[in-house]
């Protein structure tokens, strides 16, 4: 395997904070500095942190196709990686810009693009930035319609059917990974959903979309979903529904890692 990170294997015992198991139990969100955790539907900063440690080097470029509040870009900047984030909603992108700038490091670049990650012209954007390719792609799409992010028809959370969601997600894979350097890595963070009394396995559907395109599957990580702010009453209600309906309450999501 060619070197894609800054881990010094001669000192491998020093990296006890780097996760190598496929079960990630992260009990507390990193809320330091710009990571205020207020954006509904964000991921904990430890997810990009772990991925960037394993699959990127200082000075690399990271592309986040669903930037949201900018968690990946803030983390990339802290870790000395350059980054590009694409976000459909201008107001969300503007807020992310402010968060990122509050920890600005002069020598590191963090580019915020407002647009549709299915179709934004990345070749032109990269040319503008003076680079040929990115070295890592991270995708944290809407878990279909679990959270409705906006009213836009271009928003993946507004897809009318699973087929429509998958067609859009496939376009995002094609567009974002077209600028990913060969042999480098891409990560997908997603959970499943329930509808009409059955599980819709969004995680495996999206994983298959990568496999169909010839990507190599390097990892399937199961990560805990922390306690939501639901009241005890809601939790009891869900427990009752679960016992009644014969289903399990989701407490996990996935981090898939692929190599191009």
Ligand X SMILES: C[S@@+](CC[C@H](N)C(=O)[O-])C[C@H]1O[C@@H](n2cnc3c(N)ncnc32)[C@H](O)[C@@H]1O
Binding residues (CB under 6 A) for ligand X: these are 39, 41-43, 66, 68-69, 71, 86-89, 92, 116-118, 140-142, 149-150, 154-157
- Give the torsion sign (CA, 37, 43, 44, 45): negative
Please identify, using beta-carbon distances, which residue of 161 and 196 lies nearer to ligand X: 161
Please identify, using beta-carbon distances, which residue of 87 and 192 lies nearer to ligand X: 87
Please identify, using beta-carbon distances, which residue of 169 and 210 lies nearer to ligand X: 169
Please identify, using beta-carbon distances, which residue of 19 and 73 lies nearer to ligand X: 73
Q: Residue with the closest Cβ to ligand X?
A: 68
Please identify, using beta-carbon distances, which residue of 88 and 108 lies nearer to ligand X: 88
In the complex, least distance from residue 212 CB atom to ligand X, rounded to whole angstroms? 20
CB atoms within 10 A of CB 228: 7
In the complex, least distance from residue 116 CB atom to ligand X, rounded to whole angstroms? 4
């Amino acid at each position: 395997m060619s070197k894609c990170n800054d881990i010094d294997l001669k000192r491998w015992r020093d990296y006890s904070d780097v996760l190598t198991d496929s079960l990630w139990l992260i009990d507390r969100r990193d809320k330091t500095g710009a990571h205020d955790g207020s954006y509904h539907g964000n991921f904990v900063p430890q997810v990009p942190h772990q991925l960037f440690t394993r699959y990127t080097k200082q000075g690399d470029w990271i592309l986040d196709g669903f930037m949201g509040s900018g968690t990946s870009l803030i983390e990339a900047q802290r870790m000395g990686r350059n980054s590009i984030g694409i976000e459909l909603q201008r107001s969300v992108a503007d807020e992310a810009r402010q968060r990122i700038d509050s920890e600005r490091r002069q020598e590191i670049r963090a580019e915020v693009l407002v647009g549709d990650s299915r179709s934004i012209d990345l070749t032109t954007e990269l040319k503008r930035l003076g680079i040929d390719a990115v070295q890592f792609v991270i995708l944290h799409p809407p878990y279909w319609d679990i959270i409705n992010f906006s009213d836009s028809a271009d928003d993946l959370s507004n897809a009318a059917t699973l087929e429509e969601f998958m067609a859009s997600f496939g376009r995002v894979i094609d567009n974002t990974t077209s600028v990913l350097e060969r042999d480098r890595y891409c990560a997908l963070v997603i959970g499943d959903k329930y509808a009409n009394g059955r599980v819709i396995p969004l995680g495996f559907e999206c994983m298959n979309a990568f496999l169909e395109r010839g990507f190599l599957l390097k990892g399937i990580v199961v990560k805990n979903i922390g306690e939501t702010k639901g009241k005890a009453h809601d939790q009891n209600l869900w427990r009752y529904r679960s016992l009644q309906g014969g289903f399990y309450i989701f407490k996990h999501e996935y981090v898939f890692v692929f190599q191009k």
